[in-house]
Amino acid sequence: MEESQAHGNKLHEVLVLGSPWVFPVLHSQFSNRFHFLKPFLSSLSLLQFLSSYAQSIQALLIPGGCLHLTSAVLDCLPALKLVVTTSTGVDHLDLPELRRRQIAIAYVPDLYSEDVADLAVGLLIDVLRRVSAGDRFLRLGLRPTKGDFPPLGLKLSGKRVGIVGLGQIGSKVAKRLEGFDCKISYNSRTKKPLVPYSYYSNVHELASNCDGLVICCGLTEETRHMINREVMVALGKDGVIINVGRGAIIDEKAMVECLIKGEIGGVGLDVFENEPEIPEELFNLDNVVLSPHVAVITHETSVELSKLVVDNLEAFFSNKPLVTPLPNN
């Protein structure tokens, strides 16, 4: 309210759900153009807040990942006409329900793939070469010169790496790993005609023929728990898994068991099955590298994202076509 009053004319109201990481940039640059409603700063429950303050809200902003836009939330927003998600993945949105209510969706088609691919390779190097484990070793006061043994890692160069989902992100991971002389294979819904890598239609077979898997696909009913215990056992006790897709693509409970029993070699995870929850057991395992769902986040990207979000909001409020509408919506 304060912001609209300060400018003497009415700003367009935008509801911000789930504290998206772009919000600080957005708020500092564009609070003179929009009035942002921030339930995450309120002491009220989300539904109480929405029922009290959001009855006339037409546009909302939501990050990908943990917060799901449920019918209960939508029922509190009778005037809603636009959802802008700051994610590429849309598994947190109930698409049929949004369609039924004729609510338009803007998303982020291809802003993040370089950053996500960079972090995927970073996690792979970290898990194999034990960068974070070595860091912990030194911080504990241990030293090779005192006869302490640093945790020895495994080579990346020349490894057989399977990419699960060879889209924008997966292709960039593959390209980066070519620079490490890795032998790349992949699994995706269909074989890509112009790709030089070996194709496996079945992820179990892919795992049997690889030293590591990098999961880059989206979460759908088909990919949920696609990386199950059998796939992990097929990958083998030195095999590593990197996940920059969505947590629930891996059967997380089975993964924890495989790690504890030494049935896989290690994991690097940017995403988790029940974010923001992380299984306790993972904190005690030295062959696990954890990252707080930041693969898409860099300073540079946050500036570009902020502009994209505002361009979509401005288009909506001036009755123009959205800049990045979700296809088939």
**Which residues, numbered 41-70, are part of the site for ligand O=CC(=O)O (CB under 6 A)?**
64-65
Helix or strand or coil: residue 221? coil
How far apart are the C-alpha atoms of 65 and 276, rounded to whole Å? Answer: 9
For residues 6-39, one letter each, b for 16 or more C-beta atoms within 10 angstroms of the residue's C-beta and e for the rest, the string is eeeeebbbbbbbbebbbbebbeeebbeebbbbeb
Largest CA distance in the chain: 71
| Residue 275 CB neighbour total at 10 angstroms | 17
Residue 114: partners with Cβ closer than 8 Å, 6 or more residues away: 172
- Decide: is 247 part of the binding site for ligand O=CC(=O)O (CB under 6 A): no
How far apart are the C-alpha atoms of 302 and 205, rounded to whole Å? Answer: 38
- Decide: is 296 part of the binding site for ligand O=CC(=O)O (CB under 6 A): yes
- Decide: is 23 part of the binding site for ligand O=CC(=O)O (CB under 6 A): no
Residue 62, token pair as written in the block = 């939501």
- Decide: is 87 part of the binding site for ligand O=CC(=O)O (CB under 6 A): yes
| Residue 147 CB neighbour total at 10 angstroms | 7
- Smallest distance from the beta carbon of 248 to ligand O=CC(=O)O, in angstroms? 13
Stretch that binds ligand O=CC(=O)O, among 72-80, 86-94, 126-134, 143-151 (CB under 6 A): 86-94
* Residue 275 annotated to the active site: yes
- Smallest distance from the beta carbon of 88 to ligand O=CC(=O)O, in angstroms? 4
- Decide: is 168 part of the binding site for ligand O=CC(=O)O (CB under 6 A): no
- Decide: is 298 part of the binding site for ligand O=CC(=O)O (CB under 6 A): no
- Decide: is 88 part of the binding site for ligand O=CC(=O)O (CB under 6 A): yes
Contact footprint for ligand O=CC(=O)O (CB under 6 A)? 64-65, 87-89, 108, 112, 296
Mind telling me the catalytic residues?
246, 275, 293
